[in-house]
Amino acid sequence: MKANTHNLEKKGVNDRFSLSNDQFKLIDINNKPFIKVPNLGLVRMREKLRHTGKILSAKIFKQGGKWFVSVAVELQNIIKPQPKTDKQVGIDLGITDLATLSNGEKIQAPKPLKNKLKQLRRLNKSLSKKQKGSKNREKAKTKLSRLHFKISNIRKDFLHKLTTSLVKSYDVICLENLNVKGMVKNKKLSRAINDLGFYEFKRQLIYKANQWGKTVKELDRFYPSSKTCHNCNYKLDNLLLSMRNWQCPNCHITHDRDINASINILNHATKVLTT
């Protein structure tokens, strides 16, 4: 939730503070949401509270030059089971396509996110060249923190839509083990895992599946999902990252690398992550 920042900024308060529920009030004026904070008075909020329930506390903080308030609400009846679909899916996470599903569907990371990540790398480089303590360095730092903020918003928004649609469409969602994936593969891949928000993806999937009565499973150890033929279980000794397609020397089926991997993930994920 975004708060109107100006009043807060003028008072020169700290970047971050907490309020207990007797220290603030949420008020609607002409159907617009405001928060009443001691010493500051009324501050307009960008949107209304998304949840109803007992208000516990609030945190007010500054990020990317903007002020935010996050309100903790005690929820009741959070279990809202979704209708069962009797469908299962395996998901291979990657760089070329953000997610490849075992039904062949490929999901790309949003273009604005990819562009902003490129921008981020350029900005990081230029910051490292600026003299410490210089005004230009300060300017570049502000730019960088704004960009980080934009990226995290685009990513969260995209991932929320994706995880909601997956949990609605499937009863069981199978993933690879991200810890293993990041560890065994190269540095470039580990960075991509962070950039694209794979951990956030997994976190959202698990909490939504818990709320909606669905199941998330993962491979409980390293399984060579890319280089094992899902049809006959033949395992290649080696499969270069650049090889997007391969033919099984044993059963002669031609595989799309990521679709084959996602089918293996679906067939071999056994560790249940949901409660």
Given the rule CB under 5 A, which residues bind Zn ion? Answer: 229, 231-232, 234, 248, 250-251
Q: Quote the least distance from Cβ 262 to Zn ion, whole Å.
A: 16
Instruction: Pick the closer one to Zn ion by CB: 173 or 248.
Output: 248
Q: Residue 66 CB, nearest distance to Zn ion (Å)?
A: 54
Q: Which is nearer to Zn ion, 207 or 234 (CB)?
A: 234
CB of 264 to Zn ion, least distance (A): 12
Q: Catalytic amino acids?
A: 92, 176, 258
Rounded to whole angstroms, the Cα distance separating 230 from 248 reads 10
Q: Which is nearer to Zn ion, 3 or 229 (CB)?
A: 229
Sheet of 215-218: strand order equals 106-107, 99-101, 88-93, 172-175, 215-218, 271-272
* Contact between 273 and 173 (Cβ < 8 Å): no
Closest to Zn ion by CB, 202 or 227: 227
Nearest Cα to Cα of residue 207 among 52, 89, 93, 78: 78
